[in-house]
Amino acid sequence: MITIKNEEELKIMKKSGEIAASVMYKVLGATIPEVSKAALDKLALKEIKRLGGSPSFTTVPGYHWVTCITVGEEVVHGVPNDYILKQGDLVSVDLGVRLLGFHTDMARTIYLGNPDSEIKKFMIAGETALRLAIAQAQPGNRIFHISTVIQKTVEGAGYSIVRELTGHGIGKKLHEDPAVPGFVTKDSDIELKVGMTLAIEVIYTMGEGSVVMAGSDGWTIASKDGSLAGLFEDTVAITKTGPVVLTKKD
């Protein structure tokens, strides 16, 4: 069931999103060589609590961490373990914040060091796809419009959408209806209405896009062909005047 948020609920989600963005950029600033994924997770928890929120991801049954941190060919749900980051790693940080019963969710991908032209192109494709997708989150448009622009942008740059994973509605639950795929499906004809809130995600790889479970932690998903993966995400509200990105700092 798709939930419509009222003005007061959107104000809470905006504050939640501001906390998420503040924590995200604090964590990204600390994402450097010789730092462990576990240390970044501890930093995220400290910052979320300091700012008055609570972590969203620990509300997922069986998941005991504040962030998902993926490296290289890892796509999503990377457990923040003792892996030590190194120069040349492509790192994605995904986190969520719960405030007064409402969640927001965001993710970013960064490169540790000076990326070559292919890495730059890969990251720009994801960033551009997210920006263009957000612009399509207009009342009266459909999920189709968001999905189309993500797919065209990523595939047009020569990369692949991960089709097993999608964006989603968000609110009192971390994952709500509707699904927001990065590719066009027969279920994409859902109208966007004022008060809907969506976690729009660009989940993609340099290779052919299929994924597998990686390792033994039961969570981390990686590209099947070992190609690099990227992840860009924001929580967006549909308003009368167009899309409003909730996961950003004032």
Report how far apart, in Å, the C-alpha atoms of 175 and of each of 6, 56, 81, 83, 170 are.
18, 10, 24, 28, 5
Could you list the pLDDT tens digit for every one of the 250 residues in the chain?
999 999 999 999 999 999 999 999 999 999 999 999 999 999 999 999 999 999 999 999 999 999 999 999 999 999 999 999 999 999 999 999 999 999 999 999 999 999 999 999 999 999 999 999 999 999 999 999 999 999 999 999 999 999 999 999 999 999 999 999 999 987 778 999 999 999 999 999 999 999 999 988 999 999 999 999 999 999 999 999 999 999 998 7
CA 232 to chain centroid: 5
SS3 content of the chain, % helix, strand, coil (to 5): 30, 30, 40
For the chain, the structural domain boundaries read 7-244
Structure confidence at residue 223 (pLDDT): 98
- Token pair 């040349």 in the structure block, residue: 88
pLDDT at 186: 79
Q: What is the pLDDT of residue 49?
A: 98
* Segments of 16-78 assigned E as strands: 54-55, 67-71, 74-76
Contacts (Cβ under 8 Å, ≥6 apart) of 247? 17, 18, 20, 21, 24, 104, 105, 106, 234, 235
Radius of gyration of the chain, Cα coordinates, nearest whole angstrom? 17
Contact 69, 93 (CB under 8 A): yes
**Burial class of residue 216 (count of CB atoms within 10 Å of its CB; 0-12, 13-18, 19+):** exposed
* 28: three-class secondary structure by DSSP: helix
The pLDDT of residue 249 is 85
In 101-165, alpha helices (H): 117-135, 143-156
Would you state the pLDDT for residue 188?
79
8 A C-beta contact, residue 37 and residue 69: yes
First to last CA, the chain: 31
Q: How far apart are CA 48 and CA 96, in angstroms?
A: 9
Which CATH superfamily groups domain 7-244? Creatinase/methionine aminopeptidase superfamily (3.90.230.10)
Q: What DSSP string describes 84-115?
A: BP-TT-EEEEEEEEEETTEEEEEEEEEESS--
